[in-house]
A and B are shown apart, each in its own frame.
Chain A
């Protein structure tokens, strides 16, 4: 791993201007992703994790708008880039995998057509070479008899296989960065296992960096190198995966981890984060988590800055829970 990050997001802000007011879906998000690194972006519904992915790729539709910050991809600010430039980057240097592969694949085109098109849109190669390369990538993601499957239509694949095709298309041009938005949420456990296993292998082999957006902490635990936990449009805790999961410092991360059932919780009550996620139209003053936080004090009414209470950890909280975790 080199130290220059592939992606450096600084103070990203995306707001949605609706008739009910301005929803600050993302309100100052910072993170970096290095070469070959898998970053887990975790949060509950409405925390802005998916919108972060869309903002990086310039895919936010009105009434949404990226209103501030920088997205530096290998030093180039994507927010300043022209539409043409973004079009060249998308699917080539940065690609995306979505939750529902039935929505991303064109149902009336054969898989080979869609794959060859993806290659030829970015590179001047003849059809033969493109076909060959598509076949190889299909084999790489674990699709049996790829020659035959190239000629199939998306509906002829099962859910797991379809997601593999989507992953294969994302990998076609050997991108530097893949943004995966809940790609295994709709799949069965055994199929999810296969895809997690293969994704990790591919990232290790090709050095592709990855942002894995999910609500499932357990999935990220097995897959990612680093983790960013989002709450109400902000990253509240960020760090090495083992550090964060073993010694969470932010009260929200603490609560989230406590509420996951597992081996040690049998028969006991789960920890529950009181209350529910706030509406983005009406965020609490200061720290957005403060009304649900048991450690909250008057200081939490102020805007929180990012501190580093533990080396290598970024936390947005004025009461980091160091004693509890150690």
Chain B
């Protein structure tokens, strides 16, 4: 893995809810209404090597989906830069940059909401490659059949509409749509969360087959650690917009560095864990509108010290490709 497929450099994303007219008027009379500002992603940097599968894990509101959407170019960044295969994904008018942006494709969580119900499968999958000139319109039908076969769908069904398929088949249509423009990099945002267990296994296997066959790179976003453990080479764990730990998967499941990762790993329900006897971490995920000072995790961390309350820990390298942001490991 000499070159990096994806390079995320100090990326931040803020969502701002601007003041409405009434609040602005009130402010001119001395009221102290402030804009609401959410740091969804806060100064995040990491890279993904070519052919690597990286799992991005975190609970709701940690910014994992926001980051995934920025990588896929759906959301603009507030700050920082993202490079895919050495090219920045910032909007540009040049033709070759547009071709570069086709290299990254996204697969969504909900196979019911992400497919246009009024389009035939043939058009859903075939529209983009024709528009981008990858395939002449006259060969669209054959091309779609080829892509559908690749993801395990019967090409006979290409004249059907999405509602005529089951959840697992729809997710395959979503995957086929992404693959149709011959991407090198896939962002999967909770792509299997909505599927039944037996269908989940089919889709996970499909992802792994495609990786071998097409030499794909994945950013696999999920809240389900057992799926991430199964599929990824490296894991990135986020908490309230910041990265708390990056680690090769095997090393992480042997021993965690950050207390949050430790708690998260312990709480994954597993078939092997019978009869609960653990102490769950207390407290709730704080609101990203008003995150705690210092280390975001300190109110829930059982090891927290005064330093954790005041100073934000930096992400530091601990060798073997492991990074973590915690004051306690430093000592």
Contacts and interface: CB of A to CB of B under 8 A. Distances in A.
A259 B198 contact: yes
B284 A191 contact: yes
Contacts of A263: 229, 253, 270, 272
A89 interface: no
Nearest to B202: A272
Interface string A234-278: 000000011001000000000111111111011001111100110
B196 A197 contact: no
Nearest to B265: A189
Interface string A20-48: 00000000000000000000000011000
A226 interface: no
Interface string B171-208: 00000000000000000000000001111111011001
Given A241-B274, A242-B274, A263-B253, A194 B269 contact: no
Contact of B60 (A188, A218, A272, A273): A188
Nearest to A292: B198
Contact of B271 (A197, A245, A276): A245
A45 B263 CA distance: 30
Interface in B232-276: 249-250, 253, 263-264, 266-276
Nearest to B208: A269
A276 B59 contact: no
A190 B145 CA distance: 44
B267 A193 contact: yes
Interface residues of A, number: 44
Interface in B53-71: 59-60
Interface stretch (B21-29, B34-42, B83-91, B219-227): B219-227
Interface residues on B, range: 35 or more
A192 interface: yes
A45 B169 CA distance: 15
Contact of B197 (A189, A190, A241, A259): A259
A158 B284 contact: yes
A60 interface: no
Contact of B276 (A44, A215, A222, A270): A222
B196 A44 contact: yes
A216 B200 CA distance: 12
B226 A262 contact: yes
A223 interface: yes
Given A188-B223, A189-B264, A265 B273 contact: no
B195 to A, nearest CB: 9
A215 B208 contact: no
A240 B272 CA distance: 15
A263 B271 CA distance: 10
Contacts of B281: 190, 193-194
A217 interface: yes
A44 to B, nearest CB: 4
Contacts of B276: 196-197, 200, 222-223
Contacts of B271: 217-218, 221, 245, 257, 260, 262
A175 interface: no
A1 to B, nearest CB: 15
A160 B198 contact: no
Nearest to A220: B269
Given A242-B274, A256-B198, A260-B226, A189 B284 contact: no
- Name, among B225, B267, B271, B273, the residue most crowded by chain A CB atoms within 10 Å (CB to CB): B271
A245 B200 CA distance: 19
B272 to A, nearest CB: 7
Interface string A166-201: 000000000000000000000011111110110010
B230 interface: yes
B172 to A, nearest CB: 11
A261 B198 contact: no
B303 interface: no
B285 interface: yes
B279 to A, nearest CB: 8
B164 interface: no
A259 B282 CA distance: 32
Given A190-B263, A222-B269, A217 B201 contact: no
A219 interface: yes
Contacts of A256: 197-198
Given A189-B225, A190-B59, A269-B208, A160 B284 contact: yes
A189 to B, nearest CB: 5
A221 to B, nearest CB: 5
A161 interface: yes
Interface in A265-306: 265-266, 269-273, 276-277
B168 interface: yes
Contacts of B268: 189, 218
A190 B275 contact: no
B231 interface: yes
A273 B168 contact: no
Nearest to A271: B201
A270 B230 contact: yes
5 contacts: A44-B198, A192-B269, A241-B274, A260-B201, A263-B253
Interface of B: 59-60, 166-169, 196-202, 204-205, 208, 223, 225-227, 229-231, 249-250, 253, 263-264, 266-276, 278-282, 284-285
Please name the 8 residue pairs, one residue from A and one from B, whose CB atoms are nearest each other, closest first.
Answer: A259-B201, A261-B230, A193-B267, A218-B269, A193-B280, A44-B196, A188-B59, A273-B198
Interface of A: 44-45, 158, 160-161, 188-194, 196-197, 200, 215-219, 221-223, 241-242, 245, 255-263, 265-266, 269-273, 276-277
